[in-house]
Amino acid sequence: MGNAKETIENGRAVLGIEFGSTRIKAVLVDEEHKPVASGAHDWENQLVDGIWTYSLDMIWSGLQDCYTKLAEDVKKQYGVTIKTLGAIGFSGMMHGYMPFDAVGELLVPFRTWRNTITGEAAAALTKEFSFNIPQRWSIAHLYQAILNGEAHVDNIAFFTTLAGYIHWKLTGEKVLGVGEASGMFPIDANTKNYNEKMIAQFDALPAVQKYSWKLEEILPKVLVAGESAGTLTEEGAKLLDVSGNLAAGIPLCPPEGDAGTGMAATNSVAVRTGNVSAGTSVFAMVVIEEDLKAVHEELDMVTTPSGDTVAMVHCNNCTSDLNAWVGLFREFAETFGMNVDMNQLFGTLYNKALEGDKNCGGLIAYNYFSGEPVTGVNEGRPMFVRKPDAHFTLANFMRTHLYASLATLKIGCDILFKEEHVKVDTIYGHGGLFKTKGVGQGILAAAMDAPVAVMETAGEGGPWGMALLASYMMRKTDGETLEHYLSEKVFGGENGSVMEPDAADVAGFDEYIAAYKKALAAEKAAVEAMPL
């Protein structure tokens, strides 16, 4: 505690803040990269006029509450008021669309990654570029707005992501880390910048040519990990810390996406490493040795925070439906007068799943709260279905929902590993799915048919990964790579607890996926039959 107190008092602690789908979380780390304090604010996206969004008020009140709670935690633990910091980094959900006019006013409500309203644009750009442009990507949102003839497009002076927006308002700098930028527009692996050929192709599209702006003029500047991304302004300090205690002038690292922070937090920025982040959404990132042979709509091509090429499988849905069912079991228990600890409930039900049939005994679940482009479903209708002769037990029920959380991810990863024959030595798991030891980890190993490691730090997640990226900017030696910094100075050779795939689990999951794919027609029919 003494060392942490001194580090904070002397302004050497580093802060990482991440805007996740359901929580804004801040983590403060010391000079050994260990978390010493934290703060959090819970929030939820809203469906407004058919668009998944968060209002600007929600963004700023959430950030301020999160920081206030961090400062209170520091005061409570160490008796110290935060005055300054060594560095700060901001991260957020990747992709989405935040367009601004020349005076900095948001032109339309923030359109998050969760929206599946850009199918026409995504397909057209994928064909134009011969490069997969998913519906979530910022450029797909922009082009769809153009195709829709939306009036605001004329007035765009700048567009960015959530992380880019926060960083801009706190520093005045319109920049993005390359990993986050790679979810806006394709990146050239050689230049670590936007692909110039594709920018020219976009500007040449007939629907785009009528606008006075050029794409390069309205995109944020790209920075790689370790570069300086500006300092906290006086106005920014007041926006972040409503108490007025925090001083201006603190250096900020490039803002990154939750994919980049996940890679940093799991030490998976090197070639042939990968990680799976499993929470509200789920995505797998694998740093690849060479370009894929074909374009796959199920696979995003993005980058590490240093700009190395990553194949990414991103699924909009993961634990939301599973959590809802656990909430139902809590309500059942409370109806009988039982006082339920949620961590114990999750752990008990997750472990119960291990007793289930390897193929879930004829039960199938679709966890689609929102659309799922990987399986061609445009809207979500959570659905559980079983055959009359299914082995309907609690164990199979829980196993089914755990499988469902990773099913769409498995479909995408099967393309990566079985069709493209991408090699991966270890997958690192992080996020809420892995909190119950050995359960989510074992099921992911079965889904991937690859070893899965979970580190002790896995629960720290994105905000800790963001703090590591800020620490790297501040403390790296000349010429030191991010890969070296993380491996040697943060993780010290620690590889975590590794689980090898169980052959019976792999075969059972494969059997489940075959049935899951066949029954997708029922999920699509539910969307048609139950309009929002």
- pLDDT digit string (tens) for 215-268? 999 999 999 999 999 999 999 999 999 999 999 999 999 999 988 998 998 899
Contact 307, 296 (CB under 8 A): no
- pLDDT digit string (tens) for 414-468? 999 999 999 988 899 887 888 888 999 999 999 999 899 988 765 567 899 999 9
CA-to-CA distance for 354 and 148, rounded, in angstroms?
A: 49
What count of other Cβ atoms lies within 10 Å of the Cβ of residue 85?
Answer: 21
The DSSP bridge partners found for residue 106 are 100
- pLDDT digit string (tens) for 328-348? 999 999 999 999 999 999 999
pLDDT at 354 over 70: yes
pLDDT at 512 over 80: yes
- pLDDT digit string (tens) for 117-126? 999 999 999 9
Closest CA to 17 of 185, 196, 159, 170: 170
CA-to-CA distance for 99 and 113, rounded, in angstroms?
A: 14
pLDDT at 14 over 80: yes
Closest CA to 164 of 214, 226, 221: 221
Task: Write out the two tokens for 204.
Answer: 């040449």
**Positive/negative CA dihedral, 400, 403, 405, 407:** negative
Give the percent of the chain with pLDDT over 70.
98
- pLDDT digit string (tens) for 135-184? 999 999 999 999 999 999 999 999 999 999 999 999 999 999 999 999 99
pLDDT at 38 over 90: yes
> Looking at residue 458, what is its pLDDT?
55
pTM higher than 0.75, yes or no?
Answer: yes
What is the rounded average pLDDT of the residues 481-497? 88
What stretches of 359-502 show up as alpha helix (H) in DSSP?
394-414, 439-448, 461-475, 482-484
CA distances from 492 to 12, 15, 382 (A): 21, 21, 43
Domain with CATH 3.30.420.40 in the chain: 2-257, 266-317+412-499
Assigned CATH for 2-257? 3.30.420.40
Confidence of residue 314 (pLDDT cuts 50, 70, 90): confident
Assigned CATH for 266-317+412-499? 3.30.420.40
